[in-house]
Structure 1
Amino acid sequence: MIKASTTHLVLIPSYNPGPKVDETVREARRYWNPVWLVVDGSTDGSPARLQAMAAADPGIRVIVLPENQGKGAAVLEGLRAAAAAGFTHVLTMDSDGQHPAPCIPEFMAVSARNPGCMVLGKPVFDAAAPALRVKGREVSNWWANLETLWMGIGDSLFGFRVYPVAPLERIMSRQRWMRRFDFDPEAVVRLAWAGVRPINLPAPVRYFRADEGGVSHFRYFRDNKLLTWMHTRLVIGFILRLPGLVVRKLRG
């Protein structure tokens, strides 16, 4: 049995994930304790199944939000609960089975050695990855690196990563953004502005077809519009912070 960590937990935001969430939770528990889920207003029957799993396993905790609020809002709810329980770091992963549970111990170990850093997964795609999604993320990655003056963000969109709780909760609580699909890239940019250094580790990602139980809530035009607005406000923030970022860069 895996000994429960008192500092690091796995945090899984979940919205209508389909049957893959059961396997995701079981796999996460194979490699870490504790595993927390924030059910973001799901209507697919998964909340009852997850609560049953938690009732049978003290290493699982389920937080249920009554309405869908978005991935960032679900993560913020988990951050606040984690902070209240004394945890210092969370590893976020998606509930749909795309993220690699076997990588959890390595990411947690690197975070434990570097507690002031964020540990970012850099996705290694398989042949099933949609080419449009793979190429499209390069645009967001370029903007994220410009906005941080190339502090070293390997991938701005991949949600398998370890965050230090305190600075991320503080950043999110001070402004209204980062509540939906824009959470992942904006989180790394704003944490980098706050001096949280990124460490990048490779992590395989798998895309499942619908007949394999795969579920995607990505909507190309809606979500790219959201990302465009996000990068617009981040560029403005970058310009305002540029003198300080240059000084930090020159100091190494």
Structure 2
Amino acid sequence: MNPPVSSTHLVLVPSYNTGAELLLSTVRGALAHWRPVWVVVDGSNDGSAEAVARLALEEPGLRVIMRAKNGGKGAAVLEGAELAAAKGFSHVLVMDADGQHPAGRIQDFMTASLREPSALVLGRPVFGPEAPPVRLKGRRLSVGLVHCECLGGGIDDPLFGFRVYPVAPLVRVMRRTRFARRYDFDPEMAVRLFWAGVPTVNIPAACRYLSRADGGVSHFHYVRDNIRMAWLHTRLIAALLLWQWPAARRAQRKRK
């Protein structure tokens, strides 16, 4: 059966040095469930850009956007979202290029977005037994901090990047901050869109944890990026206390 072809919703895959084989597998999986699929190659130098560009020559539902320099996931998503808006698309489903996100759930998430187009549709990850316990504990800390920043629930998991964003508020909120361009993108956008009054829908989705031995790719730098995440939550809590608490309260009242 042919996948749906949409004029409003597209799949957006930011990629940096994912490796040609892994990126092609992820893109082919997405194309099997939805069209169009756009890949933003964020300054890769591992040959994956050339491989996916060749695939685009034979796949009309695939577009490849090349960035000359690596700017981070958030910067790649912003460029893709701005181009999507210019082409008349209203929503982007962002999924990682490393094979951890479930391509088979794309249609479910798109359907939820079509049913409630004003909402940010967030994935709530369901991990298998292979996920390291230390990662799960760190995730619980992030969830707790975001619940503080939102004065309650609404964002079940701030780190899982499998999401459908309404393009207009995403671009508007990102243009208001110089942050949220790298690993801070997923949690910061979830919180700032919540403060901006964007309703949320949370849907469980399986998440594969791929170790390096299993072919997984990660550019997470333990010290640098944990410092970045600590700075993120320091900024968000300060903003909440100084001026965003009325917005957070309004958003929580809308949920009830």
What TM-score does the superposition give when structure 2 sets the normalisation length? 0.95
- In structure 2, distance between residues paired with 1:68 and 1:182: 15
Find the partner of 2:109 among 70, 91, 107: 107
Q: CA deviation at 1:2?
A: 2.6
* Cα distance, 1:46–1:184 mapped onto 2, change above 3 Å: same
Q: Secondary structure, in 3 states, of the residue corresponding to 1:178?
A: coil
Greater mean deviation of Cα atoms: 91-100 or 214-223: 214-223
Contact 2:33 2:106 in 1 (8 A): yes
1:151: Cα distance to partner?
3.8
After superposing on structure 2, the runs of 4+ consecutive aligned residues of structure 1 that deviate more than 2 Å are: 209-212, 243-252
Change (3 A) 1:44 1:233: same
Separation in 2, partners of 1:22, 1:142: 36
The equivalent of 1:25 in structure 2 is 27
Q: Corresponding residue for 1:96?
A: 98
CA distance in 1 between partners of 2:18 and 2:57 (Å): 20
**Which letter maps to 2:50?**
A
| Worse overlay, 174-183 or 238-247 | 238-247
Residue in structure 1 matched with residue 248 of structure 2 by the alignment: 245
**Deviations for 1:92-133, whole angstroms, at most 9, x for unmatched residues?**
000010000000000000000000101100000011112221
Question: Could you tell me which residue of structure 2 aligns to residue 14 of structure 1?
Answer: 15
Deviation of 1:244 after TM superposition, in Å, equals 4.0
Gaps of 5+ in 1: none
| Aligned 8 A contact 1:151 1:192 in 2 | no
8 Å contact from structure 2 (residues 195, 247) kept in 1: no
Alignment of 1:74-89 (within 5 A): 74-89=76-91
2:40 equivalent to 1:47: no
- Structure 2, unaligned stretches of length 5 or more? none
Task: Give the C-alpha shift of residue 65 in structure 1.
Answer: 0.4
The whole-number CA distance in structure 2 between the counterparts of 1:165 and 1:127 is 35
> Structure 1's 74 and 192: CA in aligned 2 closer, same or farther, altered over 3 A?
same
Residue 246 of structure 1 and its aligned partner are, at CA, apart by 2.8
- The one-letter amino acid of 2:231's match is W
Query: Which residue is equivalent to 1:213?
Result: 215
The match for 2:39 is 37
**Aligned counterpart in structure 2 of residue 231 of structure 1, from 216, 230, 233:** 233
Change (3 A) 1:235 1:56: same
Aligned to 1:167: 169
Say whether the 8 Å CA contact 2:91–2:165 is kept in structure 1: yes
Of the structure 1 ranges 150-159 and 202-211, higher mean CA displacement relative to structure 2 is found in: 202-211
RMSD (Å) for aligned C-alpha atoms: 1.2
CA contact (8 A) 2:15 2:39 kept: yes
**Count of matched residue pairs:** 252
Contact preservation (8 Å) 2:122, 2:200: yes
Asked if 2 retains the 8 angstrom alpha-carbon contact of 1:151 and 1:197, the reply is: no
